[in-house]
């Protein structure tokens, strides 16, 4: 079966997304061409479909993904994969701020760097960044793993809940209430199981695993030193 080709151009985004959703029922791979860095492309796609965007996309691409395999053959703007519950989103280039914000499941794979607050408020799933994650990545992550293979920016893993941030490489600085721990072999094996299907497993990596120090879980509001960077 031949691929279904959908041209974005200057058409209305609602019209384009309706066409993408309609094509999902036909069983063929979908190629979206001329995305022109437009926002809100490929929202709420169902499981079992392959959709590729042939060029850079804007904000919120792949948001609310329910299980589709989405690839971006370029860069992506803010909040790629926001609120997704399943599937795989792959960005061949760089991703902007808040990649995977509030996501609940699935995997986001960024082959370049990812901007500030990667994984902010994520509730589950995994984010793998081959490059560097930006300022305050992992902020208030409730669950899931952020795995950065090229280091991290300042205030990394600030105000974590039960999420984890794994970094191979330099970390500019740690955020509020971060605890850096030595991962045990079983935990490293879990990370390798995520990286393996992406072709990124490497037993030689020296990991820094960041978790919550839990001071913010029970802090007194009058104790500003527990939550202010002072």
Q: What is the mean pLDDT of residues 186-207?
A: 96
In this prediction, residue 216 carries a pLDDT of 83
Q: Give domain limits for the chain.
A: 4-226
pLDDT of residue 230: 44
Q: pLDDT tier at 116 (50, 70, 90 boundaries)?
A: very high
Give me the CATH topology for the region 4-226. Pectate Lyase C-like (2.160.20)
- For 125-171, write each residue's pLDDT tens digit: 999 999 999 999 999 999 999 999 999 999 999 999 999 999 999 99
HEC string of 104-166? CCCEEEECCCECCCCCCCCEEEEEEECCCECCCCCCCCCEEEEEECCCECCCECCCCCCCEEE
Reported as a single tens digit per residue, the pLDDT across 55-75 is: 999 999 999 999 999 999 999
Of 117, 164, 159, residue with least CA distance to 136: 117
């Amino acid at each position: 079966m031949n691929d279904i080709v959908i041209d974005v151009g200057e058409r209305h985004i609602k019209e384009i997304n309706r066409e993408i959703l309609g094509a999902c029922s036909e069983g063929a791979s979908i190629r979206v061409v001329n995305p022109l860095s437009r926002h809100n492309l490929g929202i709420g796609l169902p499981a079992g479909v392959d959709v590729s965007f042939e060029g850079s996309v804007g904000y919120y691409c792949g948001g609310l993904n329910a299980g589709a395999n989405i690839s971006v053959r370029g860069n992506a703007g803010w909040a790629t994969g926001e609120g997704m519950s399943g599937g795989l989103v792959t960005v061949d280039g760089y991703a902007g701020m808040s990649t995977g914000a509030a996501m609940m499941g699935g995997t986001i794979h960024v082959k370049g760097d990812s901007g500030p607050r990667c994984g902010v408020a994520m509730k589950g799933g995994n984010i793998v960044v081959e490059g560097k994650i930006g300022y305050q990545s992992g902020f208030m992550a409730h669950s899931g793993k952020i795995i950065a293979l090229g280091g991290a920016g300042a205030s990394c893993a600030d105000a974590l809940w039960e999420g984890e941030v794994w970094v191979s490489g330099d970390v500019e600085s740690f955020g509020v209430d971060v605890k850096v721990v030595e991962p045990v072999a079983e935990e490293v094996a879990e990370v390798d199981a995520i990286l393996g299907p992406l072709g990124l497993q490497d037993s030689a990596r020296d990991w820094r695993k960041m978790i919550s120090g839990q001071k913010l879980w029970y802090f007194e509001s009058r104790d500003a030193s527990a939550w202010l960077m002072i």
